[in-house]
Structure 1
Amino acid sequence: MPHVITQSCCSDGSCVYACPVNCIHPSPDEPGFATAEMLYIDPDACVDCGACVSACPVGAIAADTRLTDKQLPFIELNAAFYPKREGKLPPTSKLAPVLEAPKIDRRSGGPLTVAIVGSGPAAMYAADELLTQKGVRVNVFEKLPTPYGLVRAGVAPDHQSTKRVTKLFDTIGKQRNFRFFLNVEVGNHLTHAELLEHHHAVLYAVGAPNDRRLTIDGMDRPGTGTATEMVAWINGHPEFTDLPVDLTHERVVIVGNGNVAFDVARILTTDPDVLARTDISDHALAALRGSRVQEVVIAARRGPAFSAFTLPELIGLTSTCQVVLSAADHDLVMRDLAVETDPLTRGKLEILAKLGDASAPITTPRIRLAYQLTPQRVLGDGRVSGVEFGLTGTDQAYTIDAGLVLTSIGYRGKAIDALPFDDDAAVVPNDGGRVRGASGAYVAGWIKRGPTGFIGTNKSCAAETVRNLVADYNDGVLTAPVRKPGELEKLVHSRQPDVVDAAGWHAIDAAEIARGGDERPRDKFTTVEAMLAAAAAAPKPTVRQRLVASLQAH
């Protein structure tokens, strides 16, 4: 009964270190870990101990006898990662090498204090790595009243298992020397220089918040946008609550065919009654109930072998949605399949080859994958009416009618005040997380390496940054804070009286869960004002708690 990793895999790597027989790969020390679509269990080496199940933060691992019908393809997918073997496999006992947490050379004058800007996966993994050592204090600053970044606002609501990683983040946030300063924007309420006055180092884990834009005529028309904005609107991100989303036309076109495009297409074609059991925002659910969308076309510039979506997501999409191809695109799939040798790409092509025919009448909302279409311009007299494509490599034009056109062609990092910025790569120039030319400044996550990898990939990325930060501290490179510990809270409150602490976040969290009742995991607040009102209901700290907090600050 070997165990199997399924679509929900976040590539955290915790399962790798929990496995007593080193049968989960690629491991964080192996080439390809950072870009792997998921991790895989070797069915021949697995000893069925279940240690990986307990270690997985998103519930992505199960025994092969306990998989749902939709998960059964992952048995073969896990096995296919490993080469065919002749004869009996010798027993494996070597543990995957675990990089020890950096040892901090404690000194008089107080603990190592680090400000982390951002509260998504990279930020929380960095905090976790720092707090494995005694003598460290971590303060996390987040511009929204709620933490966890893209896990809360970027993971599709029907992927609740992926959002389970927030339970791990909750555990990290309850550690003694961890503190949230939510609803506080660095660069607005506080400057980088001010943070350095109160900390030995500032670690930025702010992601890549901007979408790459498609520069063709008509992309400024009403009815255009990005898939990322749509996901934020669907998830109830307060900055996108009022996004104008028109679902009155029967067709939506998404340019770009990565996993985010899949998320949007899947939500737009899923029965709203199914979505009503998720944490989708109320305004999005209401719009979807009135939707007239019958087809979402996901258009890609190149051929099927170059599809940007991952194989696990394709398996998940085709098991839950009706996905079709035109006859011409089916021919492209078969052409690529005849010559492709890469196992993962072949896996995608084999699934694509079995998709239904787009010429069949539309009976239920469906998704159509389209290839070799280069967008030329967005059509419309005022509002969007369609997209004109060029058939890639030819002079042939091809028009698709649509009432909503979204792009999903990647992300870009945003420049940070007082730090250098590589505008071409859209990252902060760094060496292993050390910001070049800015002593005391560090980066982790997408702002460090670009928009690659998955939620758990940020764990090894953050660990590298923290190791270098601690090494600099031990070597005396970092300047000690010039302000007294208790002054930080006073400064923050003077600049942002509506700062939300951990208690406030827990009050928001509890209120959302209560609003969800028995039918939904939570019913989110979608405005800052509502979040702050919920946070205000948090119990006030007792005199003893305030005294303990004061002693800890000093």
Structure 2
Amino acid sequence: MRNLKGCTNFLFTLSGSCSCSVSLLVRKLSSVSGAAPKVCIVGGGPAGFYTAQQLLKARHDIVVDIYERLPVPFGLVRFGVAPDHPEVKNVINTFTQTAHSERFYFHGNVNVGMDISVEELKEAYHAVVLSYGAEGNRSLAVSGEDLIGVFSARDFVGWYNGHPSNKELHPDLNCETVVILGQGNVALDIARVLLSPLDMLKKTDITQRALQTLAASRVRRVLMVGRRGPLQIAGTIKEVREMINLPGTKADLLPVDYDGIAEALNDLPRPRKRLTELMIKTLKMEDGGQEVLPGADGKRVAGIRLAVKKLEGSGEGAQAIPTGHTEDLECGMVICSIGYKSLPIDPAVPFDPRRAIVQNNLGRVQGTAGLYCSGWLKRGPTGVIATTMNDSFDTARIILNDLEAGTLDMSIHKPGAQDITALLKARGVREVSFSEWEKINSEEVRRGEALGKPREKLLDVEEMLAVAWS
């Protein structure tokens, strides 16, 4: 890990060259009327499943439908969690138990906003919950961002995790140095995948395409660049420790980055203190305006120009102030891990473009009764799966409170999936049920077993549909 005069940088080089559960007591509510509440959730990721789980647990008369754009469920648990973190993916077992409830229905291969509108969902359900996450990328808005060899973290993670929209990505790892802009857990995941021994990755559910590319990789150095100092990095101690302890890899830090840091330890919250102590322990006691720079052909990335900054203030409130100086680094690839962002799904839904979230108050979408949101779409793309779980439980509680208070009119009959399925069929859209997803799951596990892996994911939506409907 190395500092370039004012930016905190983590340099990792090759040497020699949640399943989370939280108990939540929810009071069982009696139905306000004889009608069974019908709720639909848009998005089959962790936020959607956790919201469904709590609604089904709290009321024994409620019916929940999840609509998902892809034929496969689980969202970022499937496509975002690092392949070498199988324990985090164990939460899929909990989601599968929820899906097997007789009052739960999964509708895959349905693109809300295109195949069906939010207004049509509101006509069919007592409550609609938007939980489709963050499918966009935050932009650097700098010169050279569109050069060959510059990738968003979301796309790069989607490539090695088998997201269908990234199956045509072909990252060229025929370079020695990769620069990652960002120092959060996603950035650490990418650095670890780039530098992990191949034998470690072969035992995971990383795609074979990614394995073949990594097998031919010439990457020996990963530089992680952040705007602020060691006390403000966004990664967690678990992820930093994994990176530091990666076999065949060493972390390179410069002492100048940590001047005065030890004296500030006692005033830090315990998690930040433990993380900072780990970095200080790892410190090697020896010397050791932003722009993406093109090569001679003007098309491919050859380096990056960093604006050197200085920190003013302390702790989480420290500000990175430009010094007017710059420093250039040579590299063959740049990965921008500066965050995801949600996108508007339907003109009828109020959306805050600056914060990239649906405008809401504690999960109630502003200005429209019966419409709710949970997860990243509600609060922004921050936190881990446990954070999303608690947030989704909160949204479920809000819906249950509105049912009890009569804010949601249960005197009106709502047809639920019956009408939506009829509309989709008339529009030529065929849904994928959860049992049909389980056919895809079985096929992926079968292919994985042949390769000595937990699964080999199907990368093509048409192939997924063919297996599901076989």
Q: Give the TM-score taking structure 1 as reference length.
A: 0.74
In 2, are the aligned partners of 1:223 and 1:403 still within 8 Å (CA)?
Answer: yes
Q: Does 1:512 align with 2:444?
A: yes
Within 2, Cα distance between the matches of 1:237 and 1:484? Answer: 30
* 2:468 alignment partner AA: A
Flag the 1:350–1:189 CA change in 2: closer, same or farther, 3 A.
same
Within 2, Cα distance between the matches of 1:524 and 1:128? Answer: 26
> In the alignment, which residue of structure 1 is the partner of 2:340?
411
In 2, are the aligned partners of 1:101 and 1:467 still within 8 Å (CA)?
Answer: no
Within 2, Cα distance between the matches of 1:484 and 1:207? Answer: 23
- SS in structure 2 at match of 1:279: coil
**Which one of 189, 203, 206 corresponds to residue 277 of structure 1?**
203
Within 2, Cα distance between the matches of 1:451 and 1:101? Answer: 30
**Which one of 386, 397, 406 corresponds to residue 467 of structure 1?**
397
> In the alignment, which residue of structure 2 is the partner of 1:212?
138
* 2:379 alignment partner AA: R
Within 1, Cα distance between the matches of 2:434 and 2:185? Answer: 32
Q: Mapping of 1:332-411 within 5 angstroms? A: 332-341=257-266, 342=268, 343-355=270-282, 357=284, 375-380=290-295, 381-393=298-310, 394-411=323-340
- SS in structure 1 at match of 2:357: coil
Stretches of structure 2 lacking an aligned partner (at least 5 in a row) = 1-17, 311-322
> In the alignment, which residue of structure 1 is the partner of 2:213?
287
Per the TM alignment, residue 345 of structure 1 is displaced from its structure 2 partner at its CA by 2.6
Q: Mapping of 1:101-500 within 5 angstroms? A: 101=27, 103-108=29-34, 110-132=35-57, 133-321=59-247, 322-326=249-253, 329-341=254-266, 342=268, 343-355=270-282, 357=284, 375-380=290-295, 381-393=298-310, 394-417=323-346, 418-479=348-409, 480-481=412-413, 483=415, 486-500=418-432
Flag the 1:337–1:437 CA change in 2: closer, same or farther, 3 A.
same
Per the TM alignment, residue 352 of structure 1 is displaced from its structure 2 partner at its CA by 1.9
In 2, are the aligned partners of 1:196 and 1:481 still within 8 Å (CA)?
Answer: no
Per the TM alignment, residue 333 of structure 1 is displaced from its structure 2 partner at its CA by 2.1
Flag the 1:231–1:358 CA change in 2: closer, same or farther, 3 A.
farther
> In the alignment, which residue of structure 2 is the partner of 1:4?
none
Per the TM alignment, residue 104 of structure 1 is displaced from its structure 2 partner at its CA by 4.1
Deviations 1:383-439 (A, max 9, x none): 000101122133332211111101111122212311111122211121221111011
Flag the 1:121–1:101 CA change in 2: closer, same or farther, 3 A.
farther
Per the TM alignment, residue 451 of structure 1 is displaced from its structure 2 partner at its CA by 1.6
* 2:86 alignment partner AA: Q
Q: Does 1:533 align with 2:466?
A: yes
Per the TM alignment, residue 102 of structure 1 is displaced from its structure 2 partner at its CA by 5.2
* 1:437 alignment partner AA: G
- SS in structure 2 at match of 1:298: strand
Within 1, Cα distance between the matches of 2:442 and 2:186? Answer: 29
In 2, are the aligned partners of 1:102 and 1:470 still within 8 Å (CA)?
Answer: no
Deviations 1:222-248 (A, max 9, x none): 111111211111100000111131111
Per the TM alignment, residue 357 of structure 1 is displaced from its structure 2 partner at its CA by 4.8
Alignment root-mean-square deviation, CA:
2.1
Ranked by relative contact order (alpha carbons within 8 Å, sequence separation 6 or more), the top structure is 2
Within 2, Cα distance between the matches of 1:406 and 1:208? Answer: 18
Per the TM alignment, residue 511 of structure 1 is displaced from its structure 2 partner at its CA by 0.8
Flag the 1:402–1:312 CA change in 2: closer, same or farther, 3 A.
same
In 2, are the aligned partners of 1:137 and 1:177 still within 8 Å (CA)?
Answer: yes
Deviations 1:278-329 (A, max 9, x none): 1001111111111111111111111111111111211222222524224xx3
In 2, are the aligned partners of 1:279 and 1:523 still within 8 Å (CA)?
Answer: yes
- SS in structure 2 at match of 1:354: helix
In 1, are the aligned partners of 2:31 and 2:61 still within 8 Å (CA)?
Answer: no
Deviations 1:123-155 (A, max 9, x none): 001111111121111110000010000000000
Per the TM alignment, residue 101 of structure 1 is displaced from its structure 2 partner at its CA by 4.1
Within 2, Cα distance between the matches of 1:492 and 1:503? Answer: 19
* 1:344 alignment partner AA: P
- SS in structure 1 at match of 2:385: coil
Stretches of structure 1 lacking an aligned partner (at least 5 in a row) = 1-8, 18-97, 361-367, 369-373, 538-554
* 1:340 alignment partner AA: L
Within 2, Cα distance between the matches of 1:283 and 1:348? Answer: 35
Flag the 1:346–1:333 CA change in 2: closer, same or farther, 3 A.
farther
Flag the 1:484–1:446 CA change in 2: closer, same or farther, 3 A.
closer
Which region of structure 1 is more displaced relative to structure 2, 450-459 or 375-384? Answer: 375-384
Deviations 1:65-108 (A, max 9, x none): xxxxxxxxxxxxxxxxxxxxxxxxxxxxxxxxx54245142523
- SS in structure 2 at match of 1:399: strand
Per the TM alignment, residue 176 of structure 1 is displaced from its structure 2 partner at its CA by 0.2
Deviations 1:462-495 (A, max 9, x none): 2221222122233333353554763332222233
Which consecutive segments of 4 or more residues in structure 1 shift more than 6 A?
none
* 2:170 alignment partner AA: P
